[in-house]
Amino acid sequence: MSFTPVPAKVLLLHNHDNSWTADDLLEVAEETRLLMAGLRANGYHVEDAKVYDSVAEALRGRGYDPNEWLIFNWCEGYADRPWDYDVVVEELEKLEFIYTGSGVWSLRISRDKWQVRRLLAEAGVPIPFGAAARNLTTIQWDCYPAIVKPINQHSSYGIDRDAVVYDERHLRQRVEFVLDTFHAPALIEEFVDGREFQVTVWGNTPPVVLPAGELDFSAYVDPCDRIYTYQAKFDYASPDTQHIRFLCPAMMEARVRQQLELACLQAYRALRCRDYARIDLRLRDGQPCVIDINANPDINSGSVVVMAAQAAGMLYDDMVTQIVRFAAERWLRTRGPASVSQAPDRMTRMC
């Protein structure tokens, strides 16, 4: 492959979260060290900055010229607003930085699951049957089992085994819970009780589908337990975390793989994702059905994205370097070749 000239200076931007424990802070520090070491191993000059309340404040007086520094954006938000990732990139654009990952429009749209559904449907992406419930008097639903989600939450927050309902009484109870707890509409969808996959799509010209990962729920019989809850994702002491296995690459028929990859590419393009994203799908009668799209997925060393890259034959260092190169394509278009230095010599492996 040919290489795009890139800036030699990369600023790793990451955020603080007021809810983090001492163990969380140690884990974040180690992940930051690994990412910076990976970029340095490929020849970049790397520094980092931590965001608390403002990107502009974090960078003030530190001499980071947007004509010299490319931002590796690892921010999920601010110290007291951990999911305001769209506002972070809005700040970066006002400061005229080129940064890795999706832009403001994609990240803002992804915060509203109903708007995501609308865009996916318009693009012909297969999705579950669904409806939005803004109050208890307008619910019209007769497809069971169903799953009820907050429309405005991230990382499965607000989803537990009680989110799966089998009748109208429990549906109304769960909708009421969502309305009262999250002060936002509830999204009601058919519960697709099939195999679940998490698929990384990355790149831009053109995007590429990396090997799919599968969530193995075989330890559970009850469909209510066969969901990837917030607790299963982040509470390492949870029984769910211990019993749900992740298989990558996932085994599937060639036909299913082709349909799954097509759905993922359609979803990626529909939300105008850039550089990398994760698409979550389930199989309904052997057909893929997109249940979520994360335009700003976790890319720490144990994440699904890293597992997929490794399954495609990439080392972690080369994976994070390739993400910089994706952003460098935009740098070249806006800054021009006269303002950049040549890319480091080390070859980055691609799938």
CATH label of the domain that carries residue 151: 3.30.1490
Ramachandran area for residue 24 (φ above 0: left; ψ -120 to 50: alpha; else beta): alpha
The answer as to whether 348 is a domain residue is no
Together in a domain, 119 and 242: yes
Same domain as 249, residue 184: no
94 and 207 both lie in a single domain: no
Alpha helices in 183-214 (DSSP H): none
Return the DSSP state at 99: B
Domain match, 182 and 198 both: no
Q: Is omega for the bond preceding 249 within 30 degrees of 0, making it cis?
A: yes
- 119 with 267, same domain: the answer is yes
Mean pLDDT of the chain: 89
Is the residue at 308 inside a domain?
no
Does 307 reside within a domain?
no
Residue span of the structural domain in which 320 resides: 9-101+314-339
* 229 vs 67, residue with greater confidence: 67
Asked, for residue 137, whether it belongs to a domain, the answer is yes
How many folded domains does the chain comprise? 3
Which residue did the predictor score with more confidence, 176 or 335? Answer: 176
In terms of domains, do 181 and 214 share one? no
Specify if 2 maps to a domain: no
Please indicate, yes or no, whether residues 239 and 326 belong to a single structural domain of this protein. Answer: no
Mean pLDDT of 24-29: 94
| Same domain? 118 vs 243 | yes
Residues 74 and 87 in one domain: yes
Task: Read off the amino acid at residue 239.
Answer: P
| Per-residue pLDDT at 340 | 44
What are the pLDDT digits (tens) for 65-112? 999 999 999 999 999 998 899 999 999 999 999 999 999 999 999 999
Would you list the DSSP string of 11-33? EEEEE--TT--HHHHHHHHHHHH
